[in-house]
A and B are shown apart, each in its own frame.
Chain A
């Protein structure tokens, strides 16, 4: 059972570079979300989607874009990487409109130098 798959697992970027973090789920979940995890701050919501074609901002959306063209995929784009975006990024999916059990990927550790 694949569940939620994130790629890559590790990434180093230079300031100003752009990149896309991939996320795919095979559970047919309507709700998908992206979080960043920083020491002492728990998980903070970046963007979320309640279904294909629908996205919305979370708590810390600046510097990130998302799109949801299919139920399965929810990529996160960093437009112009900054050192403040150094973090561990988690993609999650859940059944329904969110608020239920979240299934997480293994995370992407991103370092911006």
Chain B
């Protein structure tokens, strides 16, 4: 079973601060996805990283895939209240039907 552990579990910061969220596994993934979930809604895909060492930027969010494709990080610069939500990483399992395994999630709260 491929497991994804996220840290920290909770993060409460003030507007303007920087933060990094981590997603780690002992297994190699062909790709990793990052989702954001707002209260009362389903998760929505932010980005998919595919190549080891890859860095993708989405405005103030920077995603990195580890060289060995076992871990990923999400860095937010100058956090805003609109960044508040649950951040989930997910990776496909190997096999005929590639099921998505989700991480445990990081709940971020950004206050004024």
Residues of A within 8 A of B (CB): 4, 31, 33, 35, 40-45, 48, 50, 56, 58, 90, 92, 94, 97-102, 104-107
Contact A99 B99 (CB under 8 A): yes
Closest to B96 in A: A97
CB of A48 within 8 A of CB of B99, answer yes
Report whether A99 and B43 are in contact in the complex, using a CB–CB cutoff of 8 Å: no
23-73 of chain B: CB within 8 A of chain A: 30-31, 33, 35, 40-45, 48
**Interface size on B (CB < 8 Å)?**
28
15 A-B contacts (beta carbon < 8 Å): A41-B104, A42-B103, A43-B88, A56-B97, A58-B99, A98-B98, A98-B99, A98-B100, A99-B99, A99-B100, A100-B92, A102-B90, A106-B42, A107-B41, A107-B42
Whether B97 lies near A98 (C-beta < 8 A) is yes
Q: Are A107 and B97 touching (Cβ within 8 A)?
A: no
- Report whether A101 and B43 are in contact in the complex, using a CB–CB cutoff of 8 Å: no
Q: Report yes or no: B97 in contact with A31, Cβ–Cβ below 8 A.
A: yes
